[in-house]
Amino acid sequence: MRRMPTRLSVWLRKYKPMLRDTMQGFRITTLLDDMDLGVIYEFISNSYWGKGIPRERLEKSLRHSFCFAVLDDENQLVAFARLITDRTTFAYLADVFVVEAHRGKGISKWLISEIVAHPELQGLRRMMLATRDAHGLYEQFGFTPIAPVENFMQIWKPNVYQS
């Protein structure tokens, strides 16, 4: 008797060929349990965009986001990105980094390409991000400056993490 394919096996046959989840001894995971939260916290809490964020706040933000991490062959976290998304219409890409020892290996390009190509994100109308210093990276994947910029607004609290 022939078994009916499971939903997962159908999904894997359909999407696995388009996902390059390994590269030169690295792999991408979206499982938060596989990610070293200490490495993520250390980097983000010292970054220009997350300076001083309390660890509890960062961990809560990770639990409520679609996270991607690049791990080396010893399962050490070497890169990270977080999407705030409904996985249907909108996503905001945040907290993207590659640890210093692994920069210059094409890891950021690979990570962003995998995020943009992820099957759950193909119906999005808009994916946004903010960057001070990596415009060239994101332009390679179709990101453009927001226009007209007057249409976008924010509530900005730069000192929210300071006591």
pLDDT given for residue 93 in this prediction: 98
Residue at 157 is within a domain: no
Please determine, for residue 35, whether its predicted confidence score (pLDDT) is greater than 80.
yes
Please determine, for residue 11, whether its predicted confidence score (pLDDT) is greater than 60.
no
**Residues 6 or more apart from 49 whose CB is under 8 A from it?**
94, 95, 130, 132
Q: The whole model's pTM is what?
A: 0.83
| Count of domains for the chain | 1
Domain that holds residue 90: 15-151
pLDDT, tens only, 96-140: 999 999 999 999 999 999 999 999 999 999 999 999 999 999 999
Residue at 72 is within a domain: yes
Residue at 146 is within a domain: yes
**Angstrom distance (rounded) from CA 139 to CA 2:** 48
**Angstrom distance (rounded) from CA 135 to CA 138:** 5
Residue at 3 is within a domain: no
pLDDT given for residue 87 in this prediction: 94
Residue at 128 is within a domain: yes
More confident residue, 20 or 31: 31
Residue at 2 is within a domain: no
pLDDT, tens only, 13-22: 444 433 456 6
Residue at 161 is within a domain: no
Residue at 8 is within a domain: no
The CATH number assigned to the domain holding 141 equals: 3.40.630.30
